[in-house]
Amino acid sequence: MLAYTIGIILFALAILISVSLHEAGHMLTAKAFGMKVTRYFVGFGPTLWSFRKGETEYGVKGIPLGGFVKIVGMTPLEEEEEEVTEKDKKRVFWRKPLWQRTVVLAAGSVTHFILGFVALWILVSFVGVVANPAYAEQVAESQETATVAVAECVAATGTDAAAGDCAEGQIEGPAWTAGIESGDAVTAVAGTAVTDWDSLLAAVSDLTPGEPVEVAVERDGTERTVEVTPYAAEAETEDGGTETVARLGVFVYTDPAVSPTTAVGAIDGVGETVAYTGDMFKETFIALGQLPSKIPPLWDAIFGGERSDDSPVSVVGASRLGGEMVQYDQWAMFFMLLVVLNYFIGIFNLLPLLPMDGGHIAIAWYEKARSWVAAKRGRPDPGRVDYLKLMPLTYAVIVLLGGFMLLTITADIVNPITIFN
């Protein structure tokens, strides 16, 4: 339980640092171009601590859910709110060249891309990542015995409270409790011979949750029999529904010595990281396109329906997954999840919708194109876009995003995704 809690805290802290660096990207590029930056804060709400250096106030606020940077003149409304001296008028954001404004607005997402790329390069170069997501299935098909890995904690149906050192909603894995260890080969379940992973699943599926059975395992050439009490778990049926089945708390064992997680080295790692990044960007765009179709199943999951492994998660859900990864000592997965999250945030933030940075970029280029067309037609420059007219659309996006965030947070609390079940 302690490792799980530490994992949650570490992952949430990593997200906060990532978002803070996002805002720092805006601030540093704005300062580099001579723009006036008046505030940089980590968090929202009441100020806990701050100091002023030059014209910029730096500080920490009470609600650690992000951060913000204040650049004078991001919109006409913001320029009116700030006291801009005649000397500083040339430093207002919108008066700067379009390419500089674009760089500043995109700097937050670029920061996420850099963080993700560096973390991924370290994993690929010096740790190794699984190249094929179906590797576990391939191992299961190639095993001549049912060699298993053992989960210390499992998500059991009907479990409300934590058991032992497990997280809420989990119990200690029956196989782990019985003394079965990762790398053991199961040879029989309740008198039924087991020869491979498929026969193990078939034998376990015939069991009744809560009724102890004898399980024969082989370790280092020695066979012994232990008593295991299966637990009740949810499993997906072929028609897309769910059913309650018996499980032992084991999964496919992948020997680290032969697992395809070989580090490729610093030089080769660059090319591999670029290839991985391309695949991740592609999958992110596909996921964004499928997002509306994920909302009804997410709603059903809140009211007892099955929570699919590919359903959207909030910061709460991602942190819980990070906690499980630390609990099971899966640090490579922990950092890979951070890579995926940084890439997703970076891409999502560039969508051409207010209040995202991509919306501000789109407006800046629209203003430029509109001025160019007006000049070609010999007409006066129409000037800047009226942000007040865009406020209803902006509020609509905020409401939709807020509703979606609330939906995912609720689902992550009442029906969370788990790694090992």
Instruction: Give the per-residue pLDDT at 205.
Output: 84
Task: Summarize pLDDT for 315-345 with one digit per residue, the tens.
Answer: 888 998 888 888 777 788 889 999 999 999 9
Predicted confidence band of residue 256 (pLDDT cuts 50, 70, 90)? low
Task: Summarize pLDDT for 103-152 with one digit per residue, the tens.
Answer: 999 999 999 999 999 999 999 888 876 544 444 555 555 566 788 888 88
Instruction: Give the per-residue pLDDT at 232.
Output: 85
Half-sphere exposure of 45 (CA within 13 A, CB side): 8
135-252 has which CATH code? 2.30.42.10
For 255-269, b/e burial (b = at least 16 CB within 10 A) is: eeeeeebebbeeeeb
| 140-149, 237-246, 253-262, 281-290: the lowest-pLDDT one | 253-262
Distance CA 174, CA 151 (A): 9
Instruction: Give the per-residue pLDDT at 157.
Output: 67
Angle separating helix axes 2-32 and 98-122, nearest 10 degrees: 150
For 13-24, b/e burial (b = at least 16 CB within 10 A) is: ebbbebbbbbbb
Choose between 163 and 189: higher pLDDT.
189
Catalytic residue among 23, 152, 172, 324: 23
Choose between 250 and 32: higher pLDDT.
32
Q: What percent of the chain is modeled with pLDDT above 70?
A: 85
| 33-37, 153-157, 309-313, 372-376: the lowest-pLDDT one | 153-157
Q: Of the ranges 173-182, 298-307, 345-354, which is most confident?
A: 345-354
Instruction: Give the per-residue pLDDT at 385.
Output: 84
Dihedral pair phi/psi, residue 145, rounded to 5°: -130, 165
Mean pLDDT confidence for 346-357: 93
Q: What percent of the chain is modeled with pLDDT above 90?
A: 37
Residue 401, pLDDT above cutoff 70: yes
Say what the pTM is.
Answer: 0.73
Q: Exposure of 128 by Cβ count < 10 A (0-12 exposed, 13-18 middle, 19+ buried)? A: middle
Instruction: Give the per-residue pLDDT at 131.
Output: 46
Instruction: Give the per-residue pLDDT at 4.
Output: 82
Task: Summarize pLDDT for 284-297 with one digit per residue, the tens.
Answer: 999 888 888 889 88
Residue 96, pLDDT above cutoff 60: yes
Active-site residue flag, 57: no
Instruction: Give the per-residue pLDDT at 158.
Output: 64
Question: 114 vs 49, 79, 117, 272, CA distance in Å?
Answer: 29, 31, 5, 15
Question: 243 vs 35, 202, 354, CA distance in Å?
Answer: 60, 15, 43
Mean pLDDT confidence for 167-185: 84
- Could you state, in order of their start, the residue ranges of all structural domains in the chain? 135-252
Question: 219 vs 83, 178, 179, CA distance in Å?
Answer: 75, 14, 12
Q: Across-strand partners of 172?
A: 153
Distance CA 292, CA 173 (A): 36
Of 32, 29, 183, 46, the C-alpha closest to 114 is: 29
Instruction: Give the per-residue pLDDT at 130.
Output: 53
What would the two tokens of residue 146 be? 């049912």
Mean pLDDT of the chain: 84
